[in-house]
Structures are given as structure tokens and as C-alpha cells.
Amino acid sequence: MTKLIWMSDPHFAEEGDVLGHDPRVRLDAAIAHINRNHADAAMCIISGDIVNRGTRAGYKGVKGKLSDLDITYLPMIGNHDSRDLFREILPLPDTCMADFIQYQVATPDGILLCLDTHKAGSDAGEFCPARAEWLRETLMNAGNTPIFLFMHHPPMALGLPMQDTENLEDGDGFLDLISDFACVKYLCIGHVHRPISGTVRGIPFSTMRSVLYQAPPPRPEWTWETFKPSNEAPNIGIIQLEDSAVRIQFDQFCEYQLGVTPD
């Protein structure tokens, strides 16, 4: 059995407040919870939006915090990140592509593929031919080894009021690619700051709450103009891989109020 920790969207900012939530306090709480309860995990995957504004200070700050983790972490790129600073400052596996933050990590129970869906200057994501070619080749080489995909942007609509305008561009093309491969067992997605699970083209998926702030549910309807984080507590995911099976526990690591500025 392989145990992994899944953390999403910490939106770290040195200056503190992001939409009334303190990313330093929330990340500290997540790290303390992991070290206390899940130091037996093989690694911690962070599915994008590592920092809120893609600055050097942000990456240096988050790297300092993440060095407190007792387990290895795998940072992934999201729309709020800067690819150049990310690569310069954060530790990446040797398997990482030269031009993208896209890499594979082998575990005893399958291969984790951490994909790069970042599109410079856009909140929506993209998966260009170079990244798609890398993925196709990696899937072809995997044979019967189970593959677990991690990506920041959803390749399909999820029925949320605004985020569906900021998904992966040409998500259908991406799904065409992966649904050709029976080795693809699960899709773990960041970006939406809400827990959603289901299947797409027969492939099971989950999204994850943010470490920092949560997006409200679809009703009542909201827009970016009226957006206000919901008062739901954050959680991390505890993933167990065993014989091609996947179990994900949603694990609340602090109270909602921790690090939140009262109205």
C-alpha cells in the first residue's frame, strides 16, 4: 500500500491576507497536522497555486515553510504560479520536463504523473502539443502499471458558477488522449477550491478543497463580482493506493476560523 498526502491551492503570500484568510497560518496548520498524523506517507503532492501572486518573495517564503514538512513534497504549477520562478526556487524531481513543470514519480503501487496545465497570463489552463506528446509517450511506456494523474485545471465542466470558464482549454482533446489508456486509474484535480467527485469518460476523479479559502457551492448563484469565500473548513486528502484501487480520505486539519479575519 502506498500512502500519499494531497494538498491543494495554498496560495501562499508573504504579506499575509488573501481574501480575509492568512496563508501562512493555514499552511503551518496543514504542515503540523501532516507531521503529527501522516509522517508515514510517502510524499505530499501540492496540486498548484503554490503561491498567490507568483513573486520571488512568495516562492522563497513557501519554500521555507514547506521545508518544515517531515515528508518529501511534489510541487505542481497552477494559474497563480510563475513557471520561471517556480523552477528556479522550488525542488523538482529529476524526471521534470525541461520547459514545463511536468514529471513522473514511481511508487510501489503505480506511477504518479504531475501535469503542467499552466498558461502564461491566463486563469484558464492549456495542454500544448509538447506536454501532450510527453504524456502520450509516458502512458505508452507504462504498459499495465497503474497511472494516477494529478493536474491543476479540470479538463471538463464541473457545474460551478464561474470556474467552468477557467478550466483547461480543449479539455476534450486531453480526455481523448487519456481515455485511450486503460492504465489511467484516477484523476486528481486542483483549482476549484471545492470537493467534487465523479467520473469523466469512465475515469474516476476528485477535486480538493484549498488549504486556504473555499469556493461556495453552486447555489445560490455567484459571480466573481459577488465572490466571497464560504465559511467551510479546509482539508487535505489522504490517498491510499493498493492493487490499482484508490481511497481518498478528506481530512480537516483546522477549524474554519483559524487564520480568518472576522468580518
Helix (H) or strand (E) holding 139: helix 129-142
Segment near Fe ion (CB under 5 A); pick from 33-41, 45-53, 213-221, 238-246: 45-53
Q: Is 49 in the site for Fe ion (CB under 5 A)?
A: yes
C-alpha to C-alpha distance for 150 and 152, rounded to whole angstroms: 7
Nearest distance, CB of residue 57 and Fe ion, angstroms? 19
Any idea what DSSP says for residue 103? E
Query: Do 234 and 26 meet the contact criterion of CB atoms below 8 Å apart?
Result: yes
Q: Detail the DSSP E strand segments found in 79-202.
A: 103-107, 110-114, 147-151, 184-189, 197-200
Terminal CA-CA length for the chain: 44
Q: Is 166 in the site for Fe ion (CB under 5 A)?
A: no
Q: Is 9 in the site for Fe ion (CB under 5 A)?
A: yes
Handedness of CA 129, 135, 136, 137 (dihedral sign): positive
Handedness of CA 241, 9, 249, 178 (dihedral sign): negative
Cβ distance to Fe ion smaller for residue 21 or 38: 21
Cβ distance to Fe ion smaller for residue 23 or 146: 23
Nearest distance, CB of residue 80 and Fe ion, angstroms? 6
Nearest distance, CB of residue 53 and Fe ion, angstroms? 12
Nearest distance, CB of residue 232 and Fe ion, angstroms? 15
For Fe ion, how many residues bind (rule: CB under 5 A)? Answer: 2
Nearest distance, CB of residue 21 and Fe ion, angstroms? 12
User: Using CB under 5 A as the criterion, what x/- string covers residues 67-106 for binding Fe ion?
Assistant: ----------------------------------------
Residues interacting with Fe ion, by CB under 5 A?
A: 9, 49
